[in-house]
Structure 1
Amino acid sequence: MSGNEPTTRPQPLARSPWTLPSAVAAELDPDRRAGRRHRRTVRDWIVDFACFFVAVVIGLVAADSVDGNPHLSQTAEELDQLVGALACAAVWLRRRWPVGLAIAMVPVSLVSDTASGAAAVALFTLAVHRPFRYVAWIGGVSIAIVPLMYWLRPDADLPYLVVVILGVLVSASVIGWGMFVRSRRQLLLSLRDRAIRAENEAALRAEQAQRLAREDIAREMHDVLAHRLTLLSVHAGALEFRPDAPRAEIARAAGVIRESSHEALQDLRQVIGVLRGGDGEASGRPQPTLAALDTLVAESRDAGMKVALDQRVGDATEVPAAIGRTAYRIAQEALTNARKHAPGAEVTVAVSGRPGEGLAIVVRNPPPPGDVPHVPGSGQGLIGLTERATLAGGRLGHGTSADGGFEVNAWLPWAP
């Protein structure tokens, strides 16, 4: 992806009714934690009021049992209810200080039965908002003091052992419920992150596929049109520099220009047809393969090139279409370069191979016999051929030979 291309940003996921925005979710989400307090949403206010209501209801039930407890004095009952009321009011601080509230509820539970509801809410909040290490220590202490609490403040109706077991079960259930809620929310957040990551990866894959498709189209247009347009340039240049050429030669050059222009238009229509969603067969002209190499060489000879073809493949139609098409494009581009940079030199095209050994293509030309006219070019042809051969699983090399000529040597895999 280039630095100038816009970055595709994933669209936010649609939230379900049961995953409304929450300060708890923001606290659990590492991407949204920034060290600042999160404002309560409507959902948070409803949950906080429900927790306060539960604490008050449990506190009222406990206060009623405290009034009839013969083991407590009038002063102890009044202190119990006062501390319980303050504990219920402190429930509204559970989001801001979950650890502090849970720690404070440990000694409060020893002196007030009315605060039992607030203590349960504090334990639940601690399990939801904080990691297990906090829950293990504070929850363990809260469960451990249950026997001491009922030894200091015996129940009026139930035996000591029964109330201790019930108290331990209730505390453990509250902690377990809170941990379950936290785990579920973390699971939802991880699923959301996976969905966002999958969307990002899909967008990147789509963008990469589009980029590769554009590169393939650009490479195909270069390979298809460069050969034809080079013929036009060479013959038009010959007419320009030799206006006194024999009439027959001028007529032949004009015929080549006309034929090459017609073929270039046909090839351009083919590439545009592929760009619009068709394929090579549907566009009316099938993609050339190795079997069309003879035709390519004949066209080059008609254009005035000296080309020697050494075809050592028994049956060119047996070569897989993709490999044959790549071999054809390599030979086509090499002939185009030889025509531009070594006019008048005899070019040798050698093709050999068999299934299991691969397909070798060698295009070689000696130094040009005379001056070389300047023909503009981008220099991207050989780079495109190297990429094409690499994508096909092969390799391509090119360079100046010992005699000062130029050679293109390619190898492509041919499965048995």
Structure 2
Amino acid sequence: MQTNLADFIRNTADGDEADAILRKCVHCGFCTATCPTYQLLGDELDGPRGRIYLIKQMVEGSEVSRSTQTHLDRCLTCRNCETTCPSGVQYGRLAEIGRKLAEEKVPRPAGQRALRRFLASFLPNSAVFTPAMRLGQHVRALLPKKLRDKVPARQRALAWPTAKHPRKMLMLAGCVQPSMMPNVNTATARVLDVLGIETVVAPDAGCCGAIRLHLGYNDEALDDARHNIDAWWPYVEQGVEAIVMNASGCGATVKEYAHLLRNDPAYAEKARRVAELTRDISEILPQFEEPLAAAARRRTIHTVAYHPPCTLQHGQQLRGDVERLLTALGIDVRLPADSHTCCGSAGTYSLLQPKLSYALRNQKLERLHATDPQMIVSANIGCIAHLQSGTSLPVAHWIELVEHMLANPGSV
């Protein structure tokens, strides 16, 4: 695709990147076949190819309309199109540039601005979010269904392992996960503990930056990244083996730190090292398949449907490891039809685009239920909470299932 950048963006970091990405696109349209919003709406401008044209027009100086912003807002940033694209178009990065430009050039209605500002300030701030979630869980039965869907039932807390081990790995606790589903982090630490690895949580680390980044608060998102790098750096210097992620959305973002901070001379090298150390838990455990299989006990759960999050299979390009590991532990893992498609969660998407989000959720649940599982497992808190709101089947993180199989009889 030929481009002719406008003066306002020519010879800038965003302009150079957009130009390089656009020039890779060959208009083939393979991406439309796997785009969830195109499949639902049937509008070329609600698919990757159409959105690429809209972004091309923006960087070439065309007037940016509210309609352009709406089509970009409807994008889930699931990056399924990147997996499908034969030309290697990095659509996710291009979409972020396009959204940033649209945000600068198209004033949003006051209601939208207020909601997005609230989400960007409330969700990543655990000091505010945690007590609000605790209150919501306390009165959950009294909440209207739409709000109750966003408040998972409170978990019975597992005990954090206390053993010290020579091998250590950092873990990002996250901003919403500790209050919504704390046992995901604890289960991760307990499984690693069985393998002789101590899990360390840097107390000053916070939100990975994904929430603010996708809402268009780019500078604040970069500050989130810098804050985490500062919190982790002493541990990196002490030689931790890895930075473990059990929320695939956070992992996909932290692995982008080197790119996000590439133009920051104070943080570029540190960001590169942090991204290099970052591993999803599904990248770590396969090397321990034999000891895990030897330690695992068969429990009441033996058949699960697995929903691979978009941020894992498309964002991080990690596929197959979870299924293989659970199978090695004696679990019958069933993938639904169209397992490559999004469940509709996509961070704050279910709050900002509820109609599309719930249509995708219901479609995904229908296909998951068709596999006749005892439970559904996934690898990202957003997907888990979103799917659970539409089914009576239990939905959990797959690492919780592994911990359940390793736990001493009577402890679960």
Q: TM-score range by the shorter chain?
A: under 0.3
Q: Normalising by the residue count of structure 2, what TM-score does the alignment of the two structures yield?
A: 0.22
Q: Which has the higher helix share?
A: 1
Higher relative contact order (CA 8 A, sep 6+): 2
Q: Bigger radius of gyration, 1 or 2?
A: 1
Q: Normalising by the residue count of structure 1, what TM-score does the alignment of the two structures yield?
A: 0.22
